[in-house]
Amino acid sequence: DTGVSQDPRHKITKRGQNVTFRCDPISEHNRLYWYRQTLGQGPEFLTYFQNEAQLEKSRLLSDRFSAERPKGSFSTLEIQRTEQGDSAMYLCASSPHGGLSAQETQYFGPGTRLLVL
Amino acid sequence: GENVEQHPSTLSVQEGDSAVIKCTYSDSASNYFPWYKQELGKGPQLIIDIRSNVGEKKDQRIAVTLNKTAKHFSLHITETQPEDSAVYFCAASMLALAGNQFYFGTGTSLTVIP
């Protein structure tokens, strides 16, 4: 399978614990995005990387959240001191980069569903 | 920032009938409009997209229309089948060298009744 993969698919944690999610983008896609999706809502942008550089962060990304893409391939999203309000589906997407005229479609992974008790 | 509204939130149609989902956007600078289908427990899957220099695009039973003046775009599914049942999301984006976050609508839950 050459699509976007995410691990784990499900995570249950207690409030106050730290969690880390991993995303592996489609090979050679140099843009990687993180979104959060709560029940009954569309995905909301969190942050995005071009190669290893984190170029944009949403105000939704509080200081408890940190994302990395150290080698420009896979990415991790860490949530520290989790709160019940962090319960959501965390989606990763990737896209190729080629300038204004190139396709910028984002391809989504299956998501990591987080439940904070 | 961009605001995308989507209607209806739920839609039930008989198998074989057509389904139409409508979205409006607020930022006239948006120039790329993808539609995603999301099945339970899965990530969104792109089904069709349209750029602002095109008024309509069709792919088999699925079509999308765009009215830039009115800032709205619609998804049309013809000859619906039970496997079309899912949640559909529209999105708007401004393609730019600096990246393009997608602004999503709130989704439409489509049920196709056999």
B52-73 pLDDT tens trace: 888 999 999 999 999 999 999 9
CA distance A45 to chain B (A): 6
Flag if B99 and A41 touch (Cβ within 8 Å): no
Distance CA B114, CA B112 (A): 6
| CB-CB contact of B24 with B4 (8 Å) | yes
pLDDT, tens digit (0-9, with 9 covering 90-100), for B70-95: 999 999 999 999 999 999 999 999 87
Mean pLDDT calculated for residue range B102-109: 95
Q: What is the DSSP letter of B68?
A: T
- Residue B104 is predicted with a pLDDT of 95
Residue B106 contacts by C-beta under 8 Å, 6 or more apart in sequence?
A40, A41, A42, B5, B6, B9
Give the confidence band of B17 by pLDDT, cuts at 50, 70, 90: very high
CA distance A94 to chain B (A): 11
- Whether B96 shows a pLDDT value over 70: the answer reads no
Residue B37 contacts by C-beta under 8 Å, 6 or more apart in sequence?
B44, B45, B47, B86, B87, B88, B89
- Whether A95 shows a pLDDT value over 70: the answer reads yes
- Whether A1 shows a pLDDT value over 70: the answer reads no
Give the confidence band of B98 by pLDDT, cuts at 50, 70, 90: low
Mean pLDDT calculated for residue range A34-45: 94
| CB-CB contact of B2 with B102 (8 Å) | no
Chain A residue nearest residue B50, CA to CA: A105
Flag if B101 and A45 touch (Cβ within 8 Å): yes
